Chains A and B, each alone.
Chain A
Amino acid sequence: MVDFEDYRENWASMSRTEQGTTVGLVLIGVFLVVALLSGALAPAYLAFLVGLGAMYALLSLGLNAQWGFTGLINFSVAAFFGIGAYGTALMTADSSPIAGGFNPLVGLVIALVLTAILAILIGVPTLRLRADYLAIASLGLAEVVRLIALNERQWTNGSAGVRGVPTFFEGWPVLETLPSTLPSVRVAVVPGSPIVLEAPFYGAFLDLVVVAVFLAVSYWVLRRVHRSPWGRVLRTIRSDEDLAEALGKNTYSYKMQSFVFGSLIMALAGVFAAHLTRFVAPGTLDPITTFYVWVAVMLGGSGSNRGALLGGFVIVAIREGSRFVNDVGALPVDPASLRLLVIGILIIVVMRFRPQGLLPPQKELIWPGTVDETPTTIDRGVRDARVGDTDE
């Protein structure tokens, strides 16, 4: 049994925004469960949505490892996402013009290797220069990758895209056929609109397992490195690169590590996306993805892993939620077309009233076990002081 007192203490130790965020998340959770139980939301679709949220969370975590940790401005999130997606799709799909039919694990490895190579290639000339050069180069890279995917038909099928990407578990024992062998279950919580659990749901659920593993591993690794001396060097570089150099840190090497590491996490999201939608097209590489991910990171709080996590899910909530607004109340315009406007306004509001984001890092980041007790009251001041700096 979990002690109720624990919860109460946890609650009291949270900041107001943390409490607000928790309440918000619980409300959304309740809403989704109600929608699910009442049959308004198909379980397979919910699983798909959560998967999509997790995918954006991965992208945000990747960008956060570059921008939030080290201050690297990367505008080619979509490109690394796309390399991940194309990498695995071209290795595994039936319609691949290069080398289809491999096990998705091979696709995963190839995608990650390709991403690492690309990240190093773009990093070598730009990371020694001032921060803005990486920004410009990455902006160009995103477009180059997209145009290659669109035009080099002999490698990528061009605008037709790569079809027939298998699920991630194709070729695995048991798991490959699990969705079709599990029995179909019907649960009627609300009479008249039963919840049906059958093959599509089981398939979506397995996809969810894949992304959950990706996300859990990435998050665990990120949390660990964020609190390490390695992460501390990155944060020093973000504030003052010359200082880090003067203290004997090879900043070029650290920036490269951070850049490649973040890009690999983005590629994981791409690999998952390819196996989720079973199809990859040049549209995957549209710069809008980059834009969404930047908003997610800023919304959650630059430098904060849990903030990036939250930001990713919020973006998907807005993107997908806006499809259904008209089902509830009639608006004079199609809300889907207002999506970008809403996200734009949201980020302006956040930047104006809470520039550090919803969940900025609040604890001292020192290797666990080194200090007996991290002071809680002062921790909070770490970021608050920064706000004071800029506002007053």
Chain B
Amino acid sequence: MSESSAAASTTFETDRSEDGSDGTEPEDRDLVLRVEDMTKRFGGLVANDGATFEVERGTITGMIGPNGAGKSTLFNLVSGFYEPDAGRVEVNGTDVTGMEPHKITEHGLVRTFQTPRKLEGMTVREAMLVGPQDQPGESFLKLFTDPGAVGRAEEENMAEAQRILEEFEIDHLATQPATSLSGGQMKLVELARAMLAEPDILLLDEPVAGVNPTLTKDLATQIERLNDQGTTFLIIEHEMDFIMDIADPIVVLNQGSVLTQGPPDEVRTDDRVVDAYLGGGG
């Protein structure tokens, strides 16, 4: 998305919440993502059943829940990869329900995947260059009608990619084949690449699954740094130490709907959460 449009929609959102804050918005909260009554059925299986939650701008929101709680389905619904049976998703105040994923990305929501596939035949910096939005070189015609602009944009993007790789301290990997990276390095590159798309909110699906402790720490540092710089995060993670350490608030999902939501300490001691994880909740 372009920055101006993102800024415009933010202003719009603020205006609207000021006007219509009566009753619906008790506090003056700035929401990046708002998910209402999300429902998804696969045949007889109800994966999400009226899940409702919000992500406030500037937070790192964690999402936990036992296996099969519907976390990944919810991610797919929010990011547009699945079509919801009912419910509503708003990004920056815009209704994006049922939009195609690339459209939702334009509105400022970018996601990563649990198991990223490696980009065959690309070096790391090539793979990074897929991230930036609105590249003139992505139009077939402009390659021939306006090669100058293509070249300039490519140069800028390359510099930006290099800068972000340096910030992530993985610039030494820039010219390595993307296929030669370890799983943990790949997750770092994914995160770095997602940042090139300049998201308002970044959805991470199990960012540290299968990643060694050192790299996990690196990832946590990076996520916190990016959060300080203004990116909002929504993170699914099973690694409890990691998520409890980094995220606040935490949304707990169980059997397709939101069980509870709150600060890590509260969630950790909540009996319903313990029950859900131990299988006694049903």
Contacts and interface: CB of A to CB of B under 8 A. Distances in A.
A and B from one assembly? yes
A367 interface: yes
Contact of A229 (B102, B117, B138): B138
A230 B129 CA distance: 11
A247 B129 contact: no
Contact of A245 (B102, B119, B131, B155): B102
Interface stretch (A32-40, A42-50, A119-127, A378-386): A378-386
A375 interface: yes
B150 interface: yes
A211 interface: no
Interface residues of chain A: helix, strand, loop or mixed (majority): helix
Interface string B20-51: 00000000000000000000000000000000
A367 B119 contact: no
B88 interface: no
A361 B121 contact: yes
A248 B180 contact: no
B175 interface: yes
Contact of A248 (B112, B118, B133): B133
A386 B140 contact: no
B5 interface: no
B140 A261 contact: yes
A370 interface: yes
B116 interface: yes
A382 B106 contact: no
A368 B100 CA distance: 33
B116 A240 contact: yes
Given A224-B143, A389-B179, A229 B135 contact: yes
A257 B102 CA distance: 17
A245 B82 CA distance: 13
Contacts of A370: 151, 154-155, 158
Given A225-B143, A228-B137, A371-B158, A244 B177 contact: no
B110 interface: yes
Contacts of B123: 364, 378, 382
B111 interface: yes
Interface string B137-164: 1111001100000110111001000000
Contact of A230 (B131, B133, B143, B177): B143
Contacts of B113: 242-243, 246
A239 interface: yes
Size bin of chain B's contact surface: 35 or more
A251 interface: yes
B245 interface: no
Contacts of A249: 102, 130, 138
Nearest to B196: A247
A72 B169 CA distance: 36
A386 B175 contact: no
B126 interface: yes
B176 interface: yes
Nearest to A221: B144
B193 A247 contact: yes
A10 B278 CA distance: 66
A116 interface: no
A366 B158 CA distance: 9
B150 A243 contact: no
Contacts of A250: 100, 102
Contacts of B135: 229
Contacts of B102: 245, 247-251
Give the interface centre of B105, B111, B175, B194 by most chain A CB atoms within 10 Å: B175
A236 interface: yes
A303 interface: yes
Given A229-B150, A366-B158, A247 B121 contact: no
B86 interface: no
Contacts of B81: 242, 245
A261 B101 CA distance: 25
Contacts of A255: none
A366 B127 CA distance: 11
B19 interface: no
Contact of A239 (B117, B125, B155, B158): B117
A309 B194 CA distance: 36
A275 interface: no
A104 to B, nearest CB: 25
B175 A375 contact: yes
B177 A381 contact: yes
Contact of B151 (A236, A364, A367, A389): A367
Nearest to A356: B121
B138 A385 contact: no
A293 interface: no
A364 B117 contact: no
A59 B122 CA distance: 25
Contacts of A306: none
Interface of A: 221, 224-225, 228-230, 232-233, 235-236, 238-240, 242-251, 257, 261, 303, 360-361, 364-371, 375, 378, 381-383, 385-386, 389
13 contacts: A232-B122, A244-B130, A246-B111, A246-B112, A247-B102, A247-B194, A248-B133, A366-B154, A367-B137, A378-B123, A382-B122, A382-B177, A383-B121
Given A248-B106, A366-B125, 8 more contacts: A225-B143, A233-B130, A235-B121, A245-B80, A364-B125, A365-B122, A369-B155, A378-B175
